[in-house]
Amino acid sequence: MPLPSALETARATLTGSLLLPSDDAFDQARRPWNLAIEQTPAAVAEPADIDDLRMLLSAARDAGATLAMQPSGHGASGDLGGAVILRMAAFDDLDVDVVAGRVRVGSGVRWGAVVDALEGTGWAAPAGTSPVVSVAGYTLGGGHSWFSRTAGLGSDNLRAVWIVRPDGSHERVDDESDPDLMWALRGAGGVVGLVTALEIDLVRTPALWGSALTFDAADAAAVLRAVRDLADVAPSGMNVFMNSLRLPDAPQVPEEIRGRSFLTVQALSADGAAEDLLAPVRGAGRVQREVSGATSPAALAAASNEPTEPTPGRGAAVALSAFDDATIEQLMEFRQRDEQRPIMSIDIRMLGGALDEPRRAGFASLQGAQWLLHALAPLFPGSPAEPGAESLRGFLELLDPVRSPRTVATFLAPGQTLERCGSAADIERLRALRDRVDPEAILHEGRLPR
């Protein structure tokens, strides 16, 4: 097989770096952000510039390999045999236009850098909850944020990209120049080209008000019903996340909360007007703790408690078309069973608003879905797959009767494909587009089903 020799030749000409399995640093470099996922690529490259990307395209063609962009290691699915992983740290341009309300970012930039650059400007990024996720991976995979009810998915805010096509050409693409390519890039990942930079709309936030209400698990069902009812009247400028947390009975947890369960409701709006709308939620149970007042995107990122270093993890996500009383009761009863203790937290996000009226055509969509849930069962080194995996299966089975027909790629689990994110017609459209722009299949197919 010509793979090793072709890549060895490329390594000698690159300005950046290329690691092969025989290199000492390869094992560390190939790892994704989620250390529970095993990926065994043919090589890991860090291109320094556009010329490097062109050389890697040529080398992949000669080697019979594919190129898979994975800027920060997030979103790994586990199947990268014969692929060259592209780490894009060198593509770190960041240019904020506060007059136009846009930002241009290189594909190696992470959301934390954008959030910091916007502090005090009156603008917010349509960023996810983790500051260490790459802008490119998040946006090209759909991306749901604190501002999605206000501004839509991350992909809805994608105005343009700079892309290296499989033939080596590098150009700026937008809806006017190539609407089909932009449709695919909004949610299907980089299956149609190598994105080097993105132009993204910002969200106008002259003032932000936030509130976090924490309740005991005994009040969780009543509070969930109150928030569910709030969704019928909440303006699109109001975004609500909930978290059901079940703390372990472990000595490292403070004694006063050890082994206890809580439900926290977090609301964010452009001003304090939403305070009155939260009154029924506040009255649905006894508030154990409340934090309310002015906030900022930087404060939200700092309070996310997302891991800032690669860790092993496992979870399951599902978008719901309904959240009726019976589903709420069944979920909370399931939640408190002793055998479901491996699930430490369940995030519940209110959808609707701008998500139901996307501004731009794209593969990713949560139109018509009402809630987005994600369950987390921590995975520790050396721990068995069960019973956590069984608990996550039970979580999905319980919610299957009210499952929405589609979710977004950024919430897919390892091994899941884009079939969960689009219709059969959407998948066929993606395949046809790939056949047109990449007839030699040099780009990795990502999560596109075979």
Output the pLDDT for position 380. Answer: 66
Name the more confident of 14 and 75.
14
Residue type, 409: A
Rounded to an integer, what distance in angstroms lies between the CA atom of residue 441 and that of residue 4?
A: 19
Q: What mean pLDDT do residues 147-176 have? A: 97
Output the pLDDT for position 278. Answer: 94
Lowest mean pLDDT among 70-84, 108-122, 192-206: 70-84
Digit-coded pLDDT (tens) for 9-25: 888 899 999 999 999 99
128: nearest Cα among 79, 141, 118:
141
pTM above 0.75, yes or no: yes
Output the pLDDT for position 271. Answer: 64
Q: What mean pLDDT do residues 414-440 have? A: 96
| In contact, 60 and 2? CB cutoff 8 Å | no
Output the 3-class SS for 263-302.
EEEEEEECCCCHHHHCHHHHCCCCEEEEEEEEECHHHHHH
* Residue 151: band (very low, low, confident or very high) from pLDDT cuts 50, 70, 90: very high
CA distance readout (Å), 65 to 1, 57, 81, 366, 408: 11, 9, 9, 34, 28
Lowest mean pLDDT among 73-82, 318-327, 354-363, 423-432: 73-82
Residue 2 has pLDDT above 70, yes or no: no
* Residue 36: band (very low, low, confident or very high) from pLDDT cuts 50, 70, 90: confident
User: Left if phi > 0, otherwise alpha if psi is -120 to 50, otherwise beta: which for 61?
Assistant: alpha
Q: Which tokens sit at 159?
A: 């105005």
Write the CB contacts of 438 (distance below 8 Å, at least 6 apart in sequence): 166, 192, 193
Name the more confident of 107 and 384.
107
Give the burial string for 345-367 (b: 16+ CB within 10 Å, else e).
bbbbbbbbbbbbebebebbbbbe
Write the CB contacts of 268 (distance below 8 Å, at least 6 apart in sequence): 146, 147, 208, 209, 210, 238, 239, 240, 295, 300
DSSP assignment of 161-179: EEEE-TTS-EEEEETTT-H
Digit-coded pLDDT (tens) for 235-262: 999 999 999 999 877 777 787 788 889 9
Residue 381 has pLDDT above 80, yes or no: no
Question: Average pLDDT, whole number, for the chain?
Answer: 93
Lowest mean pLDDT among 100-104, 111-115, 162-166, 269-273: 269-273
Residue 359 has pLDDT above 80, yes or no: yes
Output the pLDDT for position 273. Answer: 64
* Residue 1: band (very low, low, confident or very high) from pLDDT cuts 50, 70, 90: very low
Digit-coded pLDDT (tens) for 322-336: 999 999 999 999 999
